[in-house]
Amino acid sequence: MKNLVLTLLFTLFFLKNQAQTSGNVSVSLTFSSVARISIASSGSSTLTLGSPSTAGSSITTTVSDETKWLNFTSAVANGVSRRIEASVSAGTVPSGLQLRVGLNAAVGGGGTLGTLVATVASPVTLGTAATVLNNITGAYTGVGVGNGFKLTYTVNVSNYGLLRSGTNVVQITYTLIDN
């Protein structure tokens, strides 16, 4: 009986010491910077200025387009943020007109989606690069129409004396860049 008790005690002591051992391993986690941007569309954009119904009236400038959505994914290093700029990269806005863009509040996504600079209530005029969204860090908007930021394009008459009839096609480029 004494041998049995001693055997049990040694076994318990051995198991207790075995349960307290541990091991370590180093794991290196690497994550690269990510900057992806796209425009999701539910159709082409055509902004047509309306003719007045009465002589002497101004041209209708209440035309707008809301068929495009701005989608992006961003991952940045510590202390870095990004912005999105919009610019006319091909074609020319006709003299006497202003092409403007405003962003609606984000739908979907996650992370730090940034601060709106160009809103629907206060759009920016397109021409040279204009910041439309700022202070983006790690974020994603979701993919396709109905996700991200709905873009609202409007056209305004800035100088009636310069207006000429015709059709002009412009290309707008959105760029996601580090601040």
AA identity, residue 36 = R
Tell me, what's the pLDDT at 132?
A: 97
Tell me, what's the pLDDT at 6?
A: 55
- pLDDT tens digits, residue range 23-54? 899 998 888 899 999 999 977 788 888 888 88
Distance of CA 93 to the CA centre of its chain: 24
For residue 101, what are the β-bridge partners? Answer: 124, 153
- Sign of the C-alpha dihedral, residues 45, 90, 106, 139? positive
Lowest mean pLDDT among 3-7, 55-59, 76-80, 160-164: 3-7
Measure Cα distances from 83 to 104, 116, 120, 144 in Å: 16, 10, 18, 20
- pLDDT tens digits, residue range 52-108? 888 888 887 667 889 999 999 999 999 999 999 999 999 999 999 999 999 999 999
Q: Where are the domains of the chain?
A: 34-178
Give the H/E segment covering residue 98.
Answer: strand 97-103
Average pLDDT value over all residues in the chain: 88
